[in-house]
């Protein structure tokens, strides 16, 4: 069986350029090659490659131990540095310092739904320019969302959490602004134990 070698043939028919072959005859990355671990770019089945983690964090890979840095060894994610958050909350905003983007600012709690609006909208921690929810993507955070709803124990793994918290906020807004229609019902209080997907 004849083996093909990439290269150009000269006038006499001899191969004049070995293309992607090294001195030992091994191909060095032709189009039919798989991922190349160590090139700094995730490819194929690689979980990571160098600093490229594909957006993975301790929180996405090990939700029960969301703090720390993921490692990358042989293009496989390593979670040995992931740990549970500490109980310290210097700014008393109910977000422990390990998970708080600004641990000394009680008006910044984080953006769990990544809409650009901070979740810290209750209990005198309001920053009207940046709290709540941006339903139409215009950059204005129109709807304040309940902190306990957005940051409950199951929030990170719940694909319907933002929708649930938006609905919860609308119900409480209706109760606050249309008391007669709601029969003067008191505001709802979020209970993580009754919300299960």
Condensed to tens digits (0 to 9), the pLDDT of residues 130-154 reads 667 777 777 777 777 777 787 777 7
Q: Is residue 146 part of a domain?
A: yes
Highest-scoring range by mean pLDDT, 52-66, 93-107, 127-141, 150-164: 52-66
The predicted structure's pLDDT at residue 52: 94
By CB neighbour count within 10 A (0-12 exposed, 13-18 middle, 19+ buried), where does 71 fall? middle
The predicted structure's pLDDT at residue 79: 95
The domain in which residue 175 lies consists of 110-197
Residue 71 and residue 93 in contact, taking contact as beta carbons nearer than 8 Å: no
Q: Which helix (H) or strand (E) holds 72?
A: strand 71-73
Q: Is residue 140 part of a domain?
A: yes
Per cent of the chain over pLDDT 70 is 73
Q: What is the pTM of this model?
A: 0.41
Q: Is residue 96 part of a domain?
A: no
Q: Is residue 126 part of a domain?
A: yes
The predicted structure's pLDDT at residue 48: 95
Q: What's the total number of domains in the chain?
A: 1
Q: Is residue 66 part of a domain?
A: no
As a whole number of angstroms, the distance between CA 128 and CA 96 comes to: 22
Q: For the chain, how many helices (H) and strands (E)? A: 3, 2
Q: Is residue 121 part of a domain?
A: yes
pLDDT tens-digit series, residues 12-47: 444 444 333 333 444 444 455 566 899 999 999 999
Q: Is residue 182 part of a domain?
A: yes
Q: Is residue 166 part of a domain?
A: yes
Residue 181 and residue 188 in contact, taking contact as beta carbons nearer than 8 Å: no
C-alpha distance across the termini of the chain, in Å:
59
Closest CA to 164 of 137, 194, 185: 194
């Amino acid at each position: 069986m004849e083996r093909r070698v990439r290269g150009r043939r000269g006038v006499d028919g001899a191969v004049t350029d070995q293309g992607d072959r090294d001195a030992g005859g091994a191909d060095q990355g032709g189009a039919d090659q798989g991922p190349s671990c160590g090139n700094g770019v995730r490819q194929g089945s690689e979980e990571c490659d160098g600093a490229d983690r594909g957006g993975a964090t301790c929180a996405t890979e090990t939700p029960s131990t969301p703090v720390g840095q993921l490692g990358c060894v042989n293009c496989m994610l390593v979670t040995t540095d992931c740990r549970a958050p500490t109980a310290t909350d210097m700014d008393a905003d109910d977000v422990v310092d390990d998970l708080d983007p600004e641990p000394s600012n009680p008006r910044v709690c984080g953006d769990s739904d990544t809409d650009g609006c901070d979740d810290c909208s209750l209990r005198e921690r309001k920053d009207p320019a940046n709290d709540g929810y941006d339903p139409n993507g215009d950059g204005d955070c129109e709807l304040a969302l309940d902190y306990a709803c957005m940051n409950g124990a199951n929030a990170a793994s719940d694909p319907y959490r933002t929708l649930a918290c938006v609905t919860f906020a609308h119900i409480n807004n209706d109760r606050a602004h249309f008391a007669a229609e709601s029969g003067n019902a008191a505001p709802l209080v979020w209970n993580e134990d009754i919300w299960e997907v």
